[in-house]
Structure 1
Amino acid sequence: MNMNMNMSKPEFFVAPGAGEFFRTELHFSSAVKIDNRVETSGQGGWNDSLQIPEQIEDEIAAAFRNVELVLRTAGATWSHVVHVNTYHVGGFPPIVNETIVKLYRQYMPNHAPIWTQVGVAALGLPTMRFEIRVTAIVH
């Protein structure tokens, strides 16, 4: 049996604020939903003016808030997140993992998703040191 026959058409979402800028200027969406699966584009710690906070902890916290906005736009929440990828410029000083783990416990107190961390040379904005993308299953 061909499983693709049962899949619904992809539905793309654009989050308000920076997501609208990215859709217009860079031609990509904030998230896609296929059936009950939501995949997000990578989210940085930007505000609507694409400014990145000076402190890495604030950048990471802002990126988590941006993921929350994208998930909400696509009809999901952090409670649906099953997989996280994080991308890091500048390595992994202790404050990075400490901040991420604190936010995991805040946003997902009842489950622990799978997680992959990748060190990279650069991200989409010159001042970015952190980016996060998630997969959510809406049940």
Structure 2
Amino acid sequence: MSNAIFTSTPGYGDTLLEMLHYRQAVRVGDRVEISGQGGWGRDLSFPVSFPEALDEEIVQAFENVERTLATVGASWTDVIAVDSYHVPTAADTIGDDHTSVMVEQFRKRMGDRAPIWTQLGVAALGAPGMRVEIRVTALVGQSDEDR
């Protein structure tokens, strides 16, 4: 039986553990689950120039996923599933301004490997002004033929 190993991302993860009593990642055997990662900086700050910085916020969320995965010995190449949560810029659709940056980051970070992906539009996220949050599941150490 595998034990659950919980970790906090250095910086904001330690702050969130203290403030809100939750961890950023858990690894059980080869399976990794991370909590939703937003486009915040190490000090939980967000890009200042809304809405122009939407792409920066999404890229930073991908960076934060990468940092969090690393705390449990995983990387984007281990990711098998992505759930992304978006506050839409239009009333009834997530829109290409979100989707195109997400797809660009998938290709940049995962190459030819494509995870399963659920993209959800939501009314609000956990912090004021936050427009994207990304949660992933990973299986560490898969062979290339499994991909």
TM superposition score normalised by structure 2: 0.88
1:31-70, aligned counterparts within 5 Å?
A: 31-53=25-47, 54=50, 55-70=53-68
| Stretch moving more, 45-54 or 10-19 | 45-54
Q: Aligned match of 1:113 in 103, 112, 115?
A: 115
Pairing of 1:79-118 with structure 2 (within 5 A): 79-90=77-88, 91-118=93-120
Matching residue's letter, 1:41:
S
CA displacement at 1:93 relative to structure 2:
2.1
Question: Percent identity between the aligned chains?
Answer: 47
Q: Which of 73, 76, 86 lines up with 2:74 in the alignment? A: 76
SS of equivalent to 1:52: coil
Over aligned residues, Cα RMSD in angstroms?
A: 0.9
Aligned counterpart, 1:4: none
Q: In the TM superposition, what whole-angstrom CA distance separates every residue of 1:47-82 from its partner, at most 9, and x where no partner exists?
A: 022121231100000000000000001100000000
Taking the aligned partners of 1:130 and 1:114, their CA distance within structure 2 comes to: 18
What is the match of residue 22 of structure 2?
Answer: 28
Which amino acid counterpart does residue 36 of structure 2 have in structure 1?
Answer: G
Count of aligned positions:
133
Q: Deviating runs (4+, > 2 A) in structure 1?
A: none
The amino acid that maps onto 2:67 is: L
SS of the residue corresponding to residue 32 of structure 2 reads strand
Q: Where does the alignment leave 5 or more consecutive residues of structure 2 unmatched?
A: 142-147
Q: Tell me which amino acid in the other structure corresponds to 1:9.
A: N
Unaligned runs of 5+ in 1: 1-6
Separation in structure 2 between the aligned mates of residue 19 and residue 127 of structure 1, nearest angstrom = 19
Deviation at 1:113, TM superposition (A): 0.2
